[in-house]
Amino acid sequence: MDRFLVPEIDDMKKDSPPKPQVFGRYVVADPRVCHGQPTFRGTRIMVSQVLEQVARGVAWESILDRWEGKVTKEAIAEAVRLSSQAFLEHAQEYVAEPTPT
């Protein structure tokens, strides 16, 4: 008779898909998009791709051209701010061992 019981509400919640995480106005992480990696809202452009371009010294205007206007200057600035904040909060995790001389 137990096999005919209706599942508990909590059990049904476990099966519901995870919700997107919103990090700011432009940066989101949706488990259904790019395997949950942070992307720019409404695109499949991963934040890490744009940050790599910034780190290589690519001019922001060139980045905007590369992504055909799907990423704005404001979105790039938000990604840089978020990555800066994350680094400051986790800097101790990136301390390099001194190299012997």
Tell me the pLDDT tens digit for each residue of 13-48.
566 778 888 899 999 999 988 988 999 999 999 999
How far is Cα 75 from Cα 50, in angstroms, rounded to an integer? 10
How many CB atoms are located within 10 Å of the residue 74 CB?
11
How far is Cα 78 from Cα 54, in angstroms, rounded to an integer? 12
Q: Which domains does the chain have, with CATH numbers?
A: 17-89 (1.10.10.10)
Q: What is the pLDDT of residues 44-58, one digit of tens each?
A: 999 999 999 999 999
Q: What is the pLDDT of residues 46-95, one digit of tens each?
A: 999 999 999 999 999 999 999 999 999 999 999 999 999 999 998 888 88
The predicted model scores a pTM of 0.75
